[in-house]
Amino acid sequence: MARNKEKLVLLLDVGPSMHGVLSEVEKLCSMLVEKKLIFSKYDELGVVVFGTEESKNDLTTEVGGYQNITVLQDIKVVDGDLVDTLQKLPRGRVDVVLDAIVVGMDMLIKKYKDLHKGKKRLCLITNAIHPIKDSFEGSKEDQVMTIAEQMAAQGMKIESIVVRGRLSRDANKGVMDENDHLLSIFSKKTHTRIVYVDTPTSLLGALKTRRVTPVTVFRGHLELSPHMKIKVWVYKKTQEEKFPTLKKYSEKAPASNKLATHQVKVSYEYKSVDGSSTSVIPPEQRIKGYRYGPQVVPISTAEWDAVKFKPEKGIKVLGFTDASKIKRHCYMKDVYLFIAEPGNTRATLAVSAIARAMKEMNAVAILRCVWRQGQQNVVVGVLTPNISQNYKIPDSFYFNVLPFAEDVREYQFPSFNSFPASWQPNDQQQKAADELVQMLDLAPSGKEALLPEFTPNPVLERFYRHLELKAKQPDAAVPPLDETLKNIVEPDPELVAENKSVFDALHRHFELRQNPKLKKSSRQWYQEKQSGSNAHVSSGQAVNSIENQPPVKIEKIGDLTPVQDFEAMMSQRDNPEWVEKAIKELREKILALLIHSDEGDKYQKAVECVAALRKGCILEQEPGPYNDLMHHIRQYCEEKGIKSLPQLLASRDLTLISKSEAEDSDVTAEEARSFFVKMEPKPDV
């Protein structure tokens, strides 16, 4: 692990033009050290700031010059003190750039000389808006070329993060173009990148704080046919960054023991109870058991191996199809990168030829992949051509996993067309909703606001900052959300202010009403009761006692308030069975009210329940139970000669649920209107 450690020197511009973003630079560099403490605790780091009024570096003492550059921290193994150092960067008064690169390079040469080639890196953070001073010999470009060649010879790399945006509006464009050209020389010679950022959020994601070495997941042949195969290597292009594995820590080891790891190891023992004695069962005598109902079925490893699916390692092309037939939302898991075998000219030409032909025909390939021998599952996915714009980088493919039939999750939502006309949105409401959706576009002017490459995971960033704080102050409370992270997880205040008219239009055309399904809370009920009575009770004590009570969960429709109980059960969405249970119980309650009614004294209450049931069945698009109940009521009234109940139902327009109200209904609008006529009892002869 120690041999793979990285040697990094941060070159930070603290000149006057950078003062506006230095607080974000402090957060970025502190986060870098915090992640290294978790993932790469053997890495070494040095800090150089330039633009300071004073000068403190070896080259100033040894050869003179190199003014306004301060070595804030010599190269050393990362620790908690480095975080404190980076959180308090000095504010400089002058502007220099190129000399700081030479100072950082000198630090790495003196520290490691010819050792650890490829593990030495410089990271420059500046706005590069001030001119570089002229060289005593040759041009600026010659000077930069000399430094870049020396860095390449020493196995060093330099990564440049250029902060522009609002800071560069008044800067000289000619100077910026010249500086960009000079920095590009470093990039080409050391095979690194230049990143341009214009917001604090993108700055936070510009520096790759955790470097992951790419590892191939497959090396072998891409089989187009039994007689045509291409040697390829497959890497993971993207991968979700997860929380670090937190291990258990023990304080039982004595403080004087410096070799103690304080790690907790967990082991399990399996014992057999025979009468009064217990004996430990060795691993070779154990067998896995799987529950099947109340029983446990033992299955040995040999039996598993006999029935296990064992596909052969390899990648085969199943066929080609038009790219428009593969939808983007069907992509699953991580993205893979297919490249030709390095150094294999024939494979490179073959991959390039196929990729360019697929691009020209707008086609993609469907692949069957088994990455390694003994893999139990087969992956089917789509291969998309990736045509390189750089002549030094060969063409390649992107691979995305596609779902099998059992992986597809289709969620059916009722259409607005299935609801009554009174529930349909009008033109003004539709327009207001469309404007709201268009306003929330992250790229209204063609430029994306939160670029995926430069937008960090806010959950992980907050976790690392809180972890570093708890390491120093175990009892520290969770700090408030950082302003930079708020820009990721919360709406942009400027965007909201600019589109205030859109929100006002939404409020005008959509009336907010209380959900009738939700029962009033105990606190609301108490306040309404207090306002309408003369009871003298301490409101503070009463409210507190009510607030401490858990919310009441309705599990059965009672006799006192059946409509309210029905609405409460319908609003309980923790289990889909509540809806079915509520409809069934209210239906039974209605029939009980009709049967036990004495000269129609309970008909009014039954009609209220019928109205609630009809509304609930329309909302849930379940017309069957309600329509069956209405047919049963009609038959009951005809047999008993009841006249008042059909009249009450007709006065409330409680007819059958037609197909225009619920798609699953087999009742037409005409049949629903004529239902009351059929419900009228036959006259006595």
Q: For 403-433, how does the pLDDT look when each residue is reduced to its tens digit (9 = 90+)? A: 998 888 877 777 777 777 777 888 888 899 9
Q: What percent of the chain has pLDDT over 90?
A: 14
Instruction: Return d(Cα 59, Cα 67) in angstroms, integer.
Output: 9
- Write down the CATH number for the domain with range 6-206: 3.40.50.410
Q: Give how far Cα 2 sits from Cα of 31, 42, 299, Å.
A: 21, 6, 44
- Write down the CATH number for the domain with range 562-674: 1.25.40.240
pLDDT band with cut points at 50, 70 and 90 for residue 254: confident
In the chain, CATH 1.25.40.240 sits at 562-674
Output DSSP code: residue 621: T
Q: Please indicate whether residue 360 or residue 649 has the higher confidence score (pLDDT).
A: 360
State the average pLDDT over residues 357-363.
Answer: 95
Where is average pLDDT lowest: 17-26, 144-153, 246-255? 246-255
Q: Is residue 354 scored above 90 in pLDDT?
A: yes
In the chain, CATH 2.40.290.10 sits at 214-241+286-407
Output DSSP code: residue 50: E
- Give phi and psi for 115, each to the nearest 5: -85, 160
pLDDT of residue 179: 83
Query: Is 118:4 a contact under the CB 8 Å cutoff?
Result: no
Q: Give how far Cα 412 sits from Cα of 438, 581, 621, Å.
A: 25, 21, 12
pLDDT of residue 547: 39
pLDDT band with cut points at 50, 70 and 90 for residue 549: very low
Q: Token digits for 147?
A: 């430094």
In the chain, CATH 3.40.50.410 sits at 6-206
Output DSSP code: residue 56: B
Query: Is 7:116 a contact under the CB 8 Å cutoff?
Result: yes
State the average pLDDT over residues 466-480.
Answer: 83
Where is average pLDDT lowest: 92-101, 110-119, 657-666? 110-119
In the chain, CATH 1.10.1600.10 sits at 424-509
Whole-prediction pTM value? 0.63
Q: Which residues pair with 290 in a beta bridge?
A: 297
Give the end-to-end CA distance of the chain in Å, rounded to a whole number: 102
CA 267 to chain centre: 35
Amino acid at 501: S
- Write down the CATH number for the domain with range 424-509: 1.10.1600.10
pLDDT of residue 336: 95
pLDDT of residue 52: 86
Tokens 């950078």 -> residue: 18
Where is average pLDDT lowest: 22-31, 225-234, 377-386? 22-31
Q: Please indicate whether residue 231 or residue 655 has the higher confidence score (pLDDT).
A: 231
Strands 396-401, 332-340: parallel, antiparallel or unpaired by DSSP? antiparallel
Q: Please indicate whether residue 299 or residue 576 has the higher confidence score (pLDDT).
A: 299
Q: Is residue 1 scored above 50 in pLDDT?
A: no
pLDDT band with cut points at 50, 70 and 90 for residue 365: very high
Residue 236 CB: number of other CB atoms within 10 A?
Answer: 16
Instruction: Return d(Cα 54, Cα 67) in angstroms, integer.
Output: 8
11: nearest Cα among 112, 128, 110: 128
Instruction: Return d(Cα 432, Cα 503) in angstroms, integer.
Output: 8
Q: Give how far Cα 94 sits from Cα of 51, 53, 306, 664, Å.
A: 5, 7, 75, 76
pLDDT of residue 128: 81
Class of the CATH-defined domain 214-241+286-407: mainly beta
Amino acid at 524: Q
State the average pLDDT over residues 478-490.
Answer: 84
pLDDT of residue 550: 45
Strands 44-50, 7-13: parallel, antiparallel or unpaired by DSSP? parallel
Q: Please indicate whether residue 588 or residue 355 has the higher confidence score (pLDDT).
A: 355
